[in-house]
A and B are shown apart, each in its own frame.
Chain A
Amino acid sequence: MFELLDLKQGSSYAGDIDQLILMITIITGVWFLLTAGMFFWLLFRFRAKKDESGQYVTGDEPQLKRWVTWPHMLILLCDIAVIVMAVNVWYTVKQDLPEADATIRIIAQQWAWTFVHPGPDGELDTPDDIRTVDRLYLQEGITYHYKLSSVDVLHDFSVPIFRLKQDAVPGREITGWFKPTVQGEYGIQCAEMCGIGHGIMGARLILQSASDHEFWIQSNSPTPVAQVTGQ
């Protein structure tokens, strides 16, 4: 279904999120069709007829109450099913933190994203880090940790292709993870109202193959490689 809508999945957990949304849509959809169908059928079945006057039904009798209590129980069961599935996905995306192959820093501000990529040494917060504005370069197929912060107000790091949204809170550094699974160029947005420029606070995500990414790192590092490795 999501393939039909051409909503590309670009992270290891994008499929889990889509699956969850699909399940919720199906469960609520079935109930919606059932209740709406019932409603219209009742309207039709008990429509005004000649020689028949309406009557007031209190709904106290057990055989009438059943129409409310049984669906109620079934919906509670569905609720529990949805909660179990949701907690599962939530755990994978937000609570679990698989070992990182690389760590990046994301700094939100009104109205731009600054990305700090580890340089050739693979370590963050060293002089060879590569800082970019509004362009995030990542390698496909490896697990990233991100450290997200904001210098001014609330922002939200939203990457539709990853199915990831994470608030950036001033004064806090929030760690999370993702694992890109495709290559190409995609959008990043701010998903938390942050002032006059919120709507145009977009950035680009460039997902590269291992060799392309290596080349990008080598050609963009601010300090020469020789200096960093001490050669």
Chain B
Amino acid sequence: MKWRNRVLGASLLLAAVGCVSGETQHERGEALYGYCEQCHGDAGQGNADFRTPAIAGLQDWYIEAQLQKFRIGARGDHPDDLDGLRMRPMSRTLATDGEVALVSAYVASLDPVDPPDTMVGGDPVAGRVLFNTCIECHGERAEGRRDKSAPSLLNQSDWYLVAQLHKFRSGIRGADTLDTTGIQMRPNALALENDQAVRDVVAYIETLDN
């Protein structure tokens, strides 16, 4: 019986060593994402019932920046930001900057999933004109521009884009002094005259998805 125990012990040890050294950064990120999955979905597709955005395939620098904002209270820290306040504690389950980077890279590596359209009453033709002001930062096809810290708006839930534009307008997002990039976005949301303009521009952005 003794040799059996030894073989068992040795193989367990080998397995443990294998786990530690063989785990790639991607796998670490995937493991960390296990927590996020419950709200953002296994493919990062978002979930309208939980009011979570699609995050699969967002730029890694943007995801990382947002997670850090949630962590320091630059986003999702406003008493009226019910959804942001739910994401905020989740960002704090990531213990280190290293973990933030790993999970961001993993989410960025997921294939984007275009969530179903839910919004009604948006006019993409009117929205196209309004979108001209957004191009400077978000790019011609809303693909995002790193040099402007502006994320891709593609493959995102329409209700989420609407909600975020309203948050920028009311100062629930992008008004915190720590939120240096949100502050740049805010005047552009305020330039959209009313709820109809918000819907129109989002309706146009949705036509850019492919």
Contacts and interface: CB of A to CB of B under 8 A. Distances in A.
A114 B77 CA distance: 10
A112 B82 CA distance: 9
Interface residues of A, number: 14
A12 interface: no
Interface of B: 38-39, 73, 77-79, 82, 85-86, 88-90, 92-93
Contacts, number: 32
A200 B79 contact: no
Given A131-B79, A133-B79, A112 B93 contact: no
A224 B72 CA distance: 27
Contacts of B92: 200
Given A107-B79, A110-B86, A133-B78, 14 more contacts: A109-B85, A111-B85, A111-B86, A111-B89, A112-B86, A112-B88, A114-B79, A133-B73, A133-B77, A197-B89, A197-B90, A200-B89, A200-B93, A201-B89
A109 B82 contact: yes
17 contacts: A107-B79, A109-B82, A109-B85, A110-B85, A110-B86, A111-B85, A111-B89, A112-B85, A112-B86, A112-B89, A133-B73, A151-B82, A196-B38, A196-B39, A200-B89, A200-B92, A201-B89
A220 to B, nearest CB: 13
Contacts of B82: 109, 151
Interface string A119-137: 0000000000001110000
Interface of A: 107, 109-112, 114, 131-133, 151, 196-197, 200-201
B177 to A, nearest CB: 14
A151 B44 CA distance: 27
Contacts of A131: 79
A131 B86 CA distance: 18
Contacts of A196: 38-39, 90
Contacts of A114: 79
A133 B93 contact: no
Contacts of B86: 109-112, 197
Nearest to A107: B79
A109 B89 CA distance: 12
Q: With a 10 A CB-CB cut-off, give which of B86, B89, B90, B93 has the most chain A CB atoms.
A: B89
A107 B79 CA distance: 9
B200 to A, nearest CB: 31
A135 to B, nearest CB: 10
Contacts of A151: 82
A132 B77 CA distance: 9
Contacts of B79: 107, 114, 131-133
Nearest to A195: B86
A111 B82 CA distance: 9
A222 to B, nearest CB: 11
Contacts of B39: 196
Contacts of A112: 85-86, 88-89
A197 B93 CA distance: 10
Nearest to A110: B86
Nearest to B92: A200
A200 B73 CA distance: 15
A50 to B, nearest CB: 43
The residue in A109, A133, A200 that gathers the most chain B C-beta atoms within 10 A of its C-beta is A133
A155 to B, nearest CB: 13
A147 to B, nearest CB: 15
A109 B82 CA distance: 8
A47 to B, nearest CB: 40
A166 to B, nearest CB: 20
A151 B88 CA distance: 17
Contacts of B93: 200
